[in-house]
């Protein structure tokens, strides 16, 4: 692995970097520029090459039939997915990005004219004027932000945005699929502590693999899913994959420290030591991989 690998960390220094939002989401913290780079890197180097598409082809075909489709991106971050989608849609399309954290929103002068960004907490209902107005709502990587009981609430709030016949497309990394080879004691220890902390804070380690039944239970139709593996991908450079997971180590373990510590991780010195051991294993030839899970459904 090259020397640029440690840049994936979203903050530096020993003191814990304070979160920008008061949630269980661990990545809204630290250096903003580095976090922007992380989001862009993951989208352009991993998610898009891995899937080859921004949404299932039949969903994109349905949306493109409208002269002025309305598309929303929930948990939009810096809007990188929304920008890519805007490039595929007619100029009359209206695109909305929603996020609790507005810090990463692109500045107004860098937004495409048909893009709007708005602060919103997905655990609250959207404004009434937005109900039933969207042809497609995209969601990505809420796995780090939602507690077990909040998934069904989130689905209901997203459904309210959709027109009849509108689609939800939801993408997540399979946390229980994250593995190293050859096996790395340092990586496995991070992965184990991260999942313990996630569950202790109310997270659901089985998501997103149970997302389709949740969509069906909410009343969505034509629900299905697809799973991609970075291990078998012919379109993703295997040497690019570790950057994704290394970018999670420090912020997730900082959350552990802020919660009082867990086993071998009690201080930021412990965090940095574990991170450096993982980086050393990568530079010695260890590979990392995971599943990328996409689910979709249509509002009747």
Within 10 angstroms of residue 255's Cβ, the number of other Cβ atoms is 21
Question: Domain 5-298 carries which CATH code?
Answer: 3.40.50.150
Residues 173-225: pLDDT tens digits? 998 999 999 999 999 999 999 999 999 999 998 999 999 999 999 999 999 99
State the Cα–Cα distance between residues 72 and 101, nearest whole angstrom.
16
The pLDDT of 55-66, averaged and rounded, is 97
pLDDT at res. 8 = 42
Residues 67-116: pLDDT tens digits? 999 999 999 999 999 999 999 999 999 999 999 989 999 999 989 999 99
Q: Is the pLDDT of residue 167 over 50?
A: yes
Residues 241-286: pLDDT tens digits? 999 999 899 989 998 998 899 999 999 999 999 999 999 999 999 9
Residues near 113 by Cβ (< 8 Å), separated by ≥ 6?
none
pLDDT at res. 256 = 92
Residues 21-47: pLDDT tens digits? 455 555 555 677 888 898 999 999 999
Q: What is the mean pLDDT of the chain?
A: 90
Q: Is the pLDDT of residue 7 over 50?
A: no
């Amino acid at each position: 692995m090259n020397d640029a690998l440690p840049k994936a960390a979203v903050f530096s220094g020993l003191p814990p970097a304070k979160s920008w939002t008061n949630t269980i989401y661990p990545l809204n913290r630290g250096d903003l520029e580095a976090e922007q780079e992380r989001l862009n890197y993951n989208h352009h180097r991993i998610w898009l090459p891995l899937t080859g598409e921004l949404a299932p082809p039949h969903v994109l075909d349905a949306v493109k039939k409208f002269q002025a489709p309305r598309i929303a991106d929930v948990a939009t971050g810096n809007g990188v997915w929304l920008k890519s989608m805007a490039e595929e849609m007619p100029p009359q399309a209206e695109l909305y990005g929603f996020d609790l954290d507005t810090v990463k929103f692109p500045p107004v002068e860098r937004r495409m004219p048909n893009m709007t960004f708005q602060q919103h907490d997905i655990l609250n209902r959207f404004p009434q004027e937005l109900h039933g107005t969207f042809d497609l709502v995209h969601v990505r990587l809420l796995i780090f932000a939602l507690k077990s009981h909040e998934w069904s609430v989130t689905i209901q709030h997203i459904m309210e945005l959709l027109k009849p016949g509108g689609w939800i497309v939801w993408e997540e990394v399979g946390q229980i699929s994250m593995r190293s080879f050859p096996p790395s004691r340092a990586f496995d220890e991070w992965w184990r502590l991260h999942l313990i902390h996630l569950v202790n804070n109310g997270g659901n380690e089985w998501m997103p693999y149970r997302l389709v039944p949740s969509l069906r239970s909410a009343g969505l139709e034509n629900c299905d899913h697809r799973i991609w593996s970075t291990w078998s991908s012919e379109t993703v450079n295997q040497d690019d994959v570790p950057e994704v997971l290394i970018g999670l180590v420090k912020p997730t373990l900082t959350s552990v420290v802020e919660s009082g510590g867990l086993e071998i991780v009690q201080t930021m010195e412990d965090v940095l030591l574990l991170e450096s051991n993982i980086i050393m294993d990568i530079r010695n030839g260890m590979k990392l991989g995971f599943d990328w899970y996409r689910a979709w459904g249509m509002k009747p």
